[in-house]
């Protein structure tokens, strides 16, 4: 036995020597939640009794216990800590510590993150940055290694990670497997570069998450056979049932751009619910502040008539078991004392949150904590990710017809809008471009966009999934060049350009994706930018920035835009 393993063994034995006498009622607990009504995810009922905690672990439930601290919770409900099964922390536009501050008051105690946003900018350094920046946070942050750096061979990202580039990270205790395999076409075609990553994860006992919107029939069978065990891209019940019947776990998603919870609520029945989890995928600051996190999904599902206990299991226990995090997701002896106290299921007001038995939120106050810092060299690299020559209107001028990408309100799916050979505001036809910004190649892909609604100026962003080049949509080439240039000057972020100059901006200098400021400050800047975009004509039902960001992701039907031009995802060819 190695020295490190012996230390782990000694620590675990010491913990058990403390917990077992507490569980047996021979010694007092550190904390006892008295008269607690709690959700039992094993018997599918609400039980009542004491919950005893020692060493951050639930020692016993149901029996009368005594403790150094005792809290009477009569009249409240206790749930296991909530778990987000798939999230990109970068989409909150703030550093990981600030994300933890945002979600803890909503009862989230664990998240499983995919760092493919920052990895597409910084490669392995981006993964290392996120691992360091999430160490010892009061929200446990686990990671699935990004399978899509880049998402497809058509992308021009800041780095490329093959199986060998990912392998060293599997030794990290917070790495659980391989994140969403977005290149479902390459998977179904048995391409070696994709299958190697899947096999490497499975060889190490890791899970493999899927991402296959609209995939069906033979293609879906091939995708599941390759190893994709989950999917969070289902937008219809029929799609989810086909995938579930082939053995996939379904992540019900409610994010800023993609809102699929309502369509998939019929899954939350005894027949299917054990195969279901909750995730937000991508959620902007305003949604975190106004709608909450996983708690908002629970509240919506219960109010829609779903069984509250099945909903709570989908928000905690099911995801914990899928990811083999067997120490959480339940209120039972031996589980982590990650606990959420609420008033009732329908209102779902979080009153208190305990992390490993320690109170981290209560009475509207979040306990202060110090966010970890990344290695200084990694932090420096994260602030220096733009390699871009100056832009002019001429860079966006085109001749001849180009494909038109049609937005679909409330979805990240798009439609094939045919062809256009110029901007036509009467027909809501804008010009849209993706500008390579990582290596100074000068590559710019240009197409047209319908359904965005902009009537003046341009909107640009360096949040452009997943390669995170600069994407810009505009009513004229001069405004497009100015908006994209402002984003580059700020080392990343968002710019809304009007006839008189910059109408609003959000600076995101950490890898061009995140701000060092508070969630509230970023939200204020973002809301001001949204208001400016709406004043300039962007449709109220369209999120000006999230919807734009997904136009550059060439794995979601129907049309997308890369630095190479308009790409037909279904046909796997450029138009």
- Distance CA(520)–CA(438), nearest Å, equals 29
Mean pLDDT of the 496-515 span? 97
Predicted pLDDT of residue 5: 83
Residue 91 DSSP label: G
Mean pLDDT of the 267-276 span? 98
Mean pLDDT of the 536-540 span? 95
Predicted pLDDT of residue 561: 97
The helix/strand count (H/E) of the chain reads as 18, 28
Encode pLDDT of 187-245 as tens digits: 999 999 999 999 999 999 999 999 999 999 999 999 999 999 999 999 999 999 999 99
Q: How many CB atoms lie within 10 A of CB 19?
A: 23
Residue 371 DSSP label: P
Burial 512-549 (b: 16+ CB within 10 A, else e): bbbbebebeebbebbbebbebbbebbbbeebbbbbbbb
Q: Residue 257 above 80 pLDDT?
A: no
Tell which residue, 119, 88, 122, has the closest CA to residue 386. 122
Q: Residue 151 above 90 pLDDT?
A: no
- Distance CA(399)–CA(387), nearest Å, equals 27
Tell which residue, 163, 198, 160, has the closest CA to residue 179. 198
- When pLDDT is cut at 50, 70 and 90, the band that residue 8 belongs to is confident
For the chain, the farthest-separated pair of C-alpha atoms sits apart, in whole angstroms, at 83
- Quote the crossing angle between the two packed helices 96-103 and 124-133, to the nearest 10°: 50
Predicted pLDDT of residue 270: 97
Residues above pLDDT 90, as percent of the chain? 90
Q: Residue 500 above 90 pLDDT?
A: no
Residue 100 DSSP label: H
Predicted pLDDT of residue 555: 84
Q: Residue 547 above 90 pLDDT?
A: no
HSE of 368, CA atoms in CB hemisphere, 13 A: 0
Q: What is the mean pLDDT of the chain?
A: 95
Q: End-to-end CA distance of the chain, in Å?
A: 60
Q: Which long-range contacts (CB under 8 A, 24 or more apart) does 244-247 make?
A: 244/272, 244/275, 246/220, 246/221
Mean pLDDT of the 438-444 span? 96
Mean pLDDT of the 345-355 span? 96
Q: Which two tokens stand for residue 381?
A: 């690299």
Helix, strand or coil, per DSSP, at residue 379: helix
Q: Residue 4 above 80 pLDDT?
A: no
Which stretches of 411-563 are DSSP H helices? 477-489, 519-535, 546-549
**Is pLDDT larger for residue 7 or for residue 407?**
407
- When pLDDT is cut at 50, 70 and 90, the band that residue 1 belongs to is low
Mean pLDDT of the 362-387 span? 95
pTM score of the predicted model: 0.93
Predicted pLDDT of residue 442: 95
Mean pLDDT of the 242-261 span? 94
Q: Which domains does the chain have, with CATH numbers?
A: 80-358 (3.20.20.140), 385-574 (no CATH)
């Amino acid at each position: 036995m190695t020295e490190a393993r012996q230390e782990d063994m000694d620590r675990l034995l010491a913990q058990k020597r403390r917990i077992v006498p507490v569980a047996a009622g021979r010694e007092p607990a550190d904390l006892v939640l008295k008269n607690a009504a709690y959700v039992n995810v094993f018997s599918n009922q609400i039980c009542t009794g004491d919950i005893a905690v020692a060493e951050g672990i639930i020692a016993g439930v149901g029996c009368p216990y005594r403790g150094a601290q005792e809290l009477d919770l009569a009249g409240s409900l206790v749930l296991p800590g909530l778990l987000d099964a798939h999230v990109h922390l970068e989409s909150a536009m703030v550093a990981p510590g600030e994300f933890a501050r945002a979600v803890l008051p909503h009862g989230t105690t664990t998240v499983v993150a995919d760092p493919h946003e920052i990895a597409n900018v910084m490669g392995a350094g981006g993964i290392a940055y996120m691992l360091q920046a999430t160490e010892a946070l009061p929200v446990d942050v686990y990671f699935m290694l990004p399978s899509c750096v880049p998402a497809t061979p058509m992308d021009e990202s800041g780095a490329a990670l093959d199986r060998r580039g990912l392998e060293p990270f599997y030794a990290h205790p917070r790495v659980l497997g391989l994140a969403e395999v977005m290149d479902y076409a390459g998977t179904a075609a048995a391409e070696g570069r994709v299958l190697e990553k899947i096999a490497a994860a499975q060889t190490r006992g890791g899970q493999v998450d899927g991402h296959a919107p609209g995939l069906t029939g033979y293609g879906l069978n091939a995708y599941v056979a390759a190893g994709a065990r989950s999917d969070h891209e289902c937008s219809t019940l029929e799609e989810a049932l086909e995938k579930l019947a082939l053995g996939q776990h379904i992540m019900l998603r409610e994010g800023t751009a993609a809102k699929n919870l309502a369509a998939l609520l019929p899954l939350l029945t005894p027949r299917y619910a054990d195969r279901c989890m909750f995730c937000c995928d991508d959620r902007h600051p305003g949604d975190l502040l106004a709608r909450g996190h996983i708690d908002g999904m629970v509240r919506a599902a219960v109010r829609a008539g779903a069984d509250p206990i099945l909903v709570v299991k989908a928000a905690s226990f099911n995801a914990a078991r899928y990811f083999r995090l067997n120490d959480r997701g339940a209120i039972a002896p031996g589980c982590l004392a990650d606990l959420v106290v609420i008033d009732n299921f329908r209102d779902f007001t979080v009153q208190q949150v305990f992390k490993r038995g320690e109170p981290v939120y209560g009475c509207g106050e979040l306990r202060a904590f110090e966010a970890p810092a990344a290695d200084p060299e990694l932090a420096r690299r994260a602030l220096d990710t733009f390699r871009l020559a100056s832009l002019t209107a001429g860079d966006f001028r085109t001749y001849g017809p180009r494909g038109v990408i049609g937005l679909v309100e409330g979805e990240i799916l798009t439609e094939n809008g045919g062809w256009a050979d110029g901007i036509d505001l009467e027909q809501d036809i804008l010009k849209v471009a993706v500008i390579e910004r990582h290596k100074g190649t000068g590559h710019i892909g240009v197409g047209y966009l319908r359904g965005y609604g902009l009537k003046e100026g341009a909107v640009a962003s360096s949040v452009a999934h997943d390669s995170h080049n600069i994407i810009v949509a505009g009513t004229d080439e001069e405004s497009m060049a100015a908006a994209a240039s402002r984003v580059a000057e700020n080392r990343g972020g968002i710019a809304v350009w009007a006839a008189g100059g910059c109408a609003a901006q959000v600076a995101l200098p950490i890898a061009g994706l995140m701000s060092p400021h508070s969630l509230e400050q970023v939200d204020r800047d973002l809301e001001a930018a949204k208001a400016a975009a709406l004043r300039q004509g962007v449709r109220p039902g369209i999120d000006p920035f999230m919807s734009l960001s997904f136009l550059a992701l060439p794995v979601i039907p129907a049309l997308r835009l890369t630095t190479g031009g308009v790409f037909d995802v279904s046909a796997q060819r450029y138009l």
